[in-house]
């Protein structure tokens, strides 16, 4: 019996049924009070949750329903990537106002596409009414060698995956009343979780990692604090899109690229060949107070804070 066939009558369950039918095999374990899943032997469980709220993380006019579902799911999966974990499954809890109900199928489609792209089955979820759209996605993963924020060692160098700056550029354009350039919009609307890349980095001796959600420098501060090390970030080395300054790229949030500490001799050509994105050295780790030193044009510069939900 399919997951959708296991539900009783009612409008809420009609909506759940529609989501489950859209997801098909990807939600084969859903539809009971809770999902029962197999877990790989000798692995540790990695769990994370992430919430995306209308008017906080995105505005309705910026994104299609499908993009909203994709983004919310990838944001959660990106935290599994940051630990070098492999996805086991996800559950999503959504608050859906009446004004969003007719596009719930589109949001579900985005969640389903991310589920397929990152091989993460949908295990279940919950629907509620409310005043603003909110999507909470909880992800479960497994690993035998997690990379934590606390593992950076003196002598490691800092690496970043991909190119930075486009999501920040898109938000600046929207906030200025202009449509963003297509490339910037695409990076905001359709981020990728670096799951496979993270496994490669773990297998190649990386010691600490974080996904860039608040900006490279702001997230580097978390590694510095957790590892009790001084990190130096060279702004001029940051791989950024053409019309983005290194400073803006280093402050751009919701990138979902990985900042990692690791050995100096990683094979960046192999990495680029395997994943089709760059791996770039952007700084180093040294003994010293837990702090991030930012270098620009050969000089030490001041750098402000990242995005802080509770600071405003
Ligand atoms: Mg994170």
For residue 75, the CA-to-ligand 1 centroid distance in Å is 8
For residue 160, the CA-to-ligand 1 centroid distance in Å is 14
Radius of gyration, alpha carbons of the chain: 20
For residue 177, the CA-to-ligand 1 centroid distance in Å is 29
Instruction: Measure the CA–CA gap between 137 and 249, rounded to whole angstroms.
Output: 27
Give the pLDDT confidence of 48-103 residue by residue, as tens digits.
999 999 998 888 899 999 999 999 999 999 999 999 999 999 999 999 999 999 99
Tokens 């960046």 belong to 268
For residue 51, the CA-to-ligand 1 centroid distance in Å is 12
Three-class DSSP category at 173:
helix
For residue 79, the CA-to-ligand 1 centroid distance in Å is 5
Give the pLDDT confidence of 12-48 residue by residue, as tens digits.
888 888 899 999 999 998 888 899 999 999 999 999 9
310 confidence band (pLDDT: 50, 70, 90): low
Instruction: Measure the CA–CA gap between 113 and 166, rounded to whole angstroms.
Output: 22
For residue 301, the CA-to-ligand 1 centroid distance in Å is 26
Instruction: Measure the CA–CA gap between 6 and 14, rounded to whole angstroms.
Output: 12
Question: Which stretches within the chain are classed as H helix?
Answer: 11-23, 65-82, 104-117, 166-175, 182-189, 195-203, 216-227, 246-251, 268-275
For residue 145, the CA-to-ligand 1 centroid distance in Å is 17
The model carries a pTM of 0.93
């Amino acid at each position: 019996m399919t997951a959708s066939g296991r539900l009783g009558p009612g409008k809420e369950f009609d909506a759940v049924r529609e989501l489950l039918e859209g997801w098909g095999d990807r939600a084969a374990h859903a539809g009971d009070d809770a999902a029962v899943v197999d877990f790989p032997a000798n692995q540790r469980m990695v769990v994370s949750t992430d919430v995306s709220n209308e008017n906080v993380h995105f505005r309705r006019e910026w994104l299609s329903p499908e993009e909203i579902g994709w983004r919310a799911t990838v944001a959660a999966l990106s935290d599994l990537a940051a630990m070098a974990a492999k996805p086991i499954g996800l559950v999503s809890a959504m608050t859906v106002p009446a004004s969003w109900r007719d596009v719930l199928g589109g949001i579900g489609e985005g969640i389903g596409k991310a589920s397929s792209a990152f091989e993460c089955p949908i295990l279940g979820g919950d629907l509620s009414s409310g005043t603003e759209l909110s999507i909470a996605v909880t992800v479960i993963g497994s690993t035998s060698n997690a990379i934590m924020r606390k593992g950076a060692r003196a002598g490691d160098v800092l690496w970043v995956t991909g190119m930075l700056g486009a999501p920040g550029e898109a938000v600046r354009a929207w906030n200025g009343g202009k449509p963003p350039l297509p490339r910037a919009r695409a990076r905001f609307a359709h981020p990728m979780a670096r799951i496979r890349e993270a496994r490669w980095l773990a297998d190649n001796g990386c010691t600490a990692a974080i996904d860039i959600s608040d900006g490279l420098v702001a997230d580097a501060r978390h590694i510095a604090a957790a590892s009790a090390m001084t990190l130096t970030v060279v702004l001029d080395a940051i791989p950024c899109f053409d019309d983005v300054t290194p400073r803006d790229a280093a402050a751009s949030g919701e990138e979902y690229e990985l900042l990692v500490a690791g050995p100096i001799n990683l094979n960046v050509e192999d990495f680029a060949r395997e994943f089709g994105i760059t791996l770039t050295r952007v700084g180093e780790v040294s003994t010293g107070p837990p702090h991030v030193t930012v270098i620009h044009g050969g000089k030490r510069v001041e750098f402000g804070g990242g995005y802080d939900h509770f600071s405003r």
